[in-house]
Amino acid sequence: MGRLTGRLFVGFTTALICFIAYSSQIFVVWPWYGRVLSIELLTLLVPFNALVGMLLWNYYLCVVTDPGRVPPGWQPDVQDNDGYEVKKLTRGPRYCRTCDAFKPPRAHHCRQCKRCILRMDHHCPWVNNCVGHFNYGYFFRFLFYVNCACSYHLAIHVRRIYVATQTWENFESSEMIFIILNMATCIPVWLAVGGFSLYHFYLLSGNSTTIEGWEKDKVATLVRRGKIHEIKFPYNLGLWRNICSVLGDSPLWWCWPTVTPGTGLKYQLAEGDDPDAENWPPEDPTHVPMPEPDPNHKFSLPSSPWTYQNGSVNPYLQPSNARRRQTTRNGPYSALPPYHPDYREPEAVVPYDPASSSEDEYDNSRSGIRVRRGSEGYEIKSINREAIMQGFIEDRTREPGRYNYYDPEVSSESEAEEDPDDSVPLAAKLQS
């Protein structure tokens, strides 16, 4: 995101906060109380302005505070046994090729900020800054005060509408317009930020970031598929200690904008007996790492467009459309996977040779029609219907035990002589 675009996002967010906060007080609450300063008016507006002030203060700190950067020349202390040891996670120090420097634990490279961020959660366009170790507490408090201020704001307007309906009071035109505008802007912000806040409350309770939440989902998928055993998240210290690691040790200062404790270069690990607890994030055992790209490699087109074996066309090349795959029954490969109960090893198929034209090249397994695949498509041999019928009869009668054949005995000469009366019709014999 460019510098100008980021400033526009920040300006729009600030203008939206100020419109919702102050237009409601000027055009709705002030006319409601008769435009007179009173104790009831101060009792209503002082808490609301305190929430808005804390909201704007935490938003400003979230925008201007550096989320944390890796010190120049920093190297992991692999000999330190107290706390976190980089080598236990990746079997080697984490290194950022873009920054050309080592990465501390839980640090990630941000493409928008173009540097590594300590305990990176995400890059937020609404604050034009990364949310990292040193400003995550401000970001969390900002979400909290947005929810509180929007809830208070909606309660004021709902109360104003309720009182007007009970007393049959007529609204002023400007008051009605700003009630509608405030409700139309506050409700979407309250719902969107409220859902986002619930997700970050969940992350804070587990002492994880948004990126680590994605890693947890991947690990859960690997465990569900049986590729790895269940591994505990190494930074989950318990609910109380997780909150203290971000908002501070004293609950009295949790709502006050304070600096996040720690340096962001080392984090305390959860105590446990699992020897693989520190191996986070675990790798997929079936994943084959890609080789390192050769920086000196230059792409060049081959001298010939033919890429099959000795420079000829692949005889097994088949169309890839779904209908072709469904209708193809015979081929060099089986349509069933190897673990299927009906899987059979495919028979070896000899590639088509254009120079030969023997009878063996014709395949008669396709509905009795003998076909051959030539250089211009499928060639069908001429059909002789009498030969097909004769072959069909011979094939049927060739099966042993299917038919009983009648073989008449050779008749004698006396029996062979024809009776002259046999040629006379039966009706003529009866008339005579």
Mean pLDDT of 68-90: 66
- Residue 3: band (very low, low, confident or very high) from pLDDT cuts 50, 70, 90: confident
Residue 151 pLDDT > 60, yes or no? yes
Report the number of distinct structural domains present in the chain.
Answer: 1
Residue of 96, 99, 113, 124 marked active site: 124
Residue 13 pLDDT > 80, yes or no? yes
**Is residue 216, in this structure, part of any structural domain at all?**
yes
pLDDT at 386: 79
CA distance 125 to 128: 5
Q: Please state which of the ranges 6-15, 67-76, 113-122, 287-296 shows the lowest mean pLDDT.
A: 287-296
Is 85:96 a contact under the CB 8 Å cutoff?
no
Is 86:151 a contact under the CB 8 Å cutoff?
no
Residue 255 pLDDT > 90, yes or no? yes
Residue 392 pLDDT > 60, yes or no? yes
**Is residue 144, in this structure, part of any structural domain at all?**
yes
Q: For residue 368, give the nearest of 346, 387, 344, 347 by alpha carbon.
A: 387
Task: Tell me the one-letter amino acid at 11.
Answer: G
* β partners of residue 123: 130
Number of neighbours of residue 13 by Cβ within 10 angstroms: 17
CA distance 178 to 32: 13
DSSP state letters, 75-142: ---TT--SS--THHHHSS--EETTTTEE--TT-EEETTTTEEETT--EEETTTTEEE-TTTHHHHHHH
pLDDT at 361: 47
Higher pLDDT, 298 or 412: 298
**Is residue 213, in this structure, part of any structural domain at all?**
yes
**Is residue 207, in this structure, part of any structural domain at all?**
yes
Mean pLDDT of 396-415: 61
**Is residue 259, in this structure, part of any structural domain at all?**
no
| pLDDT tens-digit series, residues 45-74 | 999 999 999 999 999 999 999 999 999 888
**Is residue 333, in this structure, part of any structural domain at all?**
no
Residue 18 pLDDT > 50, yes or no? yes
* β partners of residue 69: 117
In whole numbers, what is the pLDDT of the chain averaged over residues?
A: 78
Q: For residue 24, give the nearest of 156, 202, 216, 164 by alpha carbon.
A: 156
pLDDT at 89: 43
Q: Please state which of the ranges 40-44, 195-199, 221-225, 362-366 shows the lowest mean pLDDT.
A: 362-366
Instruction: Please give the residue range of the domain that contains residue 121.
Output: 3-253
- Which residues are CB-contacts of 95 (< 8 A; sequence separation ≥ 6)? 101, 102, 103
| Tokens representing residue 86 in the block | 């980089």
**Is residue 375, in this structure, part of any structural domain at all?**
no
- Residue 284: band (very low, low, confident or very high) from pLDDT cuts 50, 70, 90: confident
pLDDT at 336: 67
pLDDT at 421: 60
Q: For residue 55, give the nearest of 255, 260, 209, 258 by alpha carbon.
A: 255
**Is residue 413, in this structure, part of any structural domain at all?**
no
Task: Tell me the one-letter amino acid at 166.
Answer: Q
Residue 338 pLDDT > 50, yes or no? yes
pLDDT at 281: 75
Residue 160 pLDDT > 60, yes or no? yes
Cis before 251 (ω within 30):
no
- List the 363-366 sheet strands across, edge first: 363-366, 369-374, 377-380
| pLDDT tens-digit series, residues 342-384 | 677 766 555 545 455 444 444 544 445 555 665 566 666 666 7
Mean pLDDT of 391-411: 66
For residue 268, count CB atoms less than 10 angstroms from its CB and return exposed for 0-12, middle for 13-18, buried for 19 or more.
Answer: middle
pLDDT at 86: 45
**Active site annotation includes 255:** no
**SS3 state of residue 297:** coil
CA torsion through residues 135, 139, 142, 148, sign:
negative
